[in-house]
A and B are shown apart, each in its own frame.
Chain A
Amino acid sequence: MKTWILLLFMFAQTVSAEIEVYDFKDPVLEKRYQSLTEELRCLVCQNQNIADSHAELAQDLRRKVFELLNRGQSDTEIVDYMTDRYGDFVLYRPPFNFKTMILWLGPLLAVLLGALGYSRVVKNTKRSPDKASEDDLKAVQNLLDKE
């Protein structure tokens, strides 16, 4: 059992070694690097951010983020650098604009529509006993009389 656990750890190490490590002198810069690479999408494997991806493009983009950070660029400057080349799609959090309006407001709209539908259904079920038609009442009465 112990050997198995040890083996598992060995594999875990080889896997994590595939993503290169950058040396930061400033821990603040390192934090910014981490949050930036987590926010940027890898365009090759589209459901991964560039921090997690092994794709060559992700490596290039990580190096670029590292370079630009060391050149003293701000987070917005770095994000702009990426969107200038790859478009808003490179961002995991797309900006709010006309094109992305339905993306941002769609869920809210769906909740509102659902709430509206629900409230109407609730209202109708509450009201239904009073609203029963003469014919229905007669039919019920007939059934009860038969008993």
Chain B
Amino acid sequence: MSMRNWIPLVFFLVLVVFLGIGLGLNPKEVPSPLIGKKAPDFNLAQLHQPNQTFSPEQMLGKVWLFNVWASWCVSCREEHRVLNDFNQLQIAPIVGLNYKDEPLDAINWLNKLGNPYLLSVSDSAGKAGLDFGVYGVPETFLIDKKGIIRHKHIGPVTVKALQEEIMPLIAQLNQEVN
């Protein structure tokens, strides 16, 4: 068989490879344009102390996780166990963004399942969520000492994601100077 007869087959195989890669991708994971940019600013009431506010500026100089959660979110429940365990390790503080939730429901939820958060802020209207480009809860942002978003995890944080992506990146970011 001459070379030219193989051309359609080669074409077909290349197509198969590309489509195969496409099948493996998760269309729900949309890359965030915020990575490498400063975390959007907000000033919101804390969930447990509504008379006190929190703004990302207060975390300058620290590597921290910003986790978007809600008591109505089913997959947050699953993620919560992982976050509790992670918090035990004391590797980085987690700040929670309680997204479009009722504060009472949220507090009850934490009382029942444990509270891995340094603190949570109430974003009842979802305004901060919009600025962070949140489109599916849970979502987790890793923010460096300068307040720049370095990584975004969409969907529940898993042990695998922590071990393979998030924890090595935290170690690396901790090395960076302020």
Contacts and interface: CB of A to CB of B under 8 A. Distances in A.
A108 to B, nearest CB: 17
A46 B33 contact: no
Contact of B33 (A44, A57, A60, A84): A84
Given A43-B136, A44-B136, A60-B126, A85 B131 contact: yes
Interface in B92-124: 100
Chain A interface size, under 10 / 10 to 19 / 20 to 34 / 35 or more: 10 to 19
Secondary structure class of chain B's binding surface, majority of residues: loop
A60 B126 CA distance: 8
Contacts of B30: 43, 86-87, 89
B36 interface: no
B135 interface: yes
Interface string A33-60: 0000000000110100000000011001
B53 interface: no
Given A43-B136, A60-B126, A60-B130, A86 B33 contact: yes
Q: Give the interface SS of chain A, mostly helix, strand, loop or mixed.
A: helix
Most chain-A Cβ atoms within 10 A of its Cβ — which of B132, B133, B135?
B135
Contacts of A56: 100
Interface in A61-90: 61, 64, 83-89
Contacts of A61: 130
Contacts of A89: 30-31
Nearest to A120: B4
Contacts of A44: 135-136
A86 B133 contact: yes
A49 B152 CA distance: 24
B146 to A, nearest CB: 19
A85 B132 contact: yes
B84 interface: no
12 contacts: A43-B30, A43-B135, A44-B136, A56-B100, A60-B126, A60-B130, A83-B33, A85-B33, A85-B34, A86-B30, A87-B32, A88-B33
What 4 A-B pairs come out closest when comparing CB atoms?
A43-B135, A85-B133, A87-B33, A89-B30
